[in-house]
Amino acid sequence: MDARASAIAAGTAPELVWLLEHPPLYTAGTSANAGDLLDARFPVHESGRGGQLTYHGPGQRIAYVMLDLKRRTPDVRRFVASLEEWIIRTLASFDVVGERRDDRIGVWVRRPDKGEGYEDKIAAIGIRVKQWVTLHGMALNVAPDLSHFSGIVPCGVNETRYGVTSLADLNVRASMTEVDAVLRREFDRLFGPMAGQTVGSTEKAPLRSARSTSVPSR
């Protein structure tokens, strides 16, 4: 990912989005608190992205988004808002209402079935920007094992009324192929075409750290 971002910045490679799944692991952002790692049952990777601790694993669609903001709009907050909107539009295609929160990172779903004021996070966002090229991106919970999140305080949010959910947990039966089709469609509508590329998929991607600007979603 770092090598690709450097090539994009140098103008020797086109923009790219990787859609993938990781084996079970935790990633620590630049604001991670060691006390939020409750049970290191899976490997922990220092990711270099903004944000805190999160979980990645099977059943979760990860999008590593490598776009040249210098060529587009050099506004990091606008880019993060666009990532949120990408997720919200994708969820809407499955009749799920995703929402932003000013005081909490990610995309959230109201859970009145759990009690008044209860909300669950369905997607996490964490990015890094290097020479105006974005790295990392978002993770959307399609059908992961939600118990795996219990080894951490996800993104540092530890209030009991804020949990984690997925499409499957919300009784939405959607295959990864179906989710990917919607992600591709909504990406094109929101971000426009990428020079010489489309949203692609792969089974794995490198997890490396490099010196750059790390930006959480808010």
Query: Does the annotation count 131 as an active-site position?
Result: no
Q: C-alpha angle with apex 131: 206 to 86, nearest 5 degrees? A: 65
Query: Active site residue: 13, 133, 155, 164, which one?
Result: 155
- CA dihedral 104→95→63→152, nearest 10 degrees, is 40
The 10 Å CB-count burial string (b at 16+, else e) for 71-100 is ebeeebeebbebbbbbbbbbbeebebebeb
Among candidate residues 11, 134, 141, 136, the one with its CA nearest the CA of residue 77: 134
Alpha helices in the chain (DSSP H): 2-10, 76-92, 176-191
Q: What does the alpha-carbon distance between residue 72 and residue 85 come to, in Å, rounded to a whole number? A: 17
Active-site amino acid positions: 155
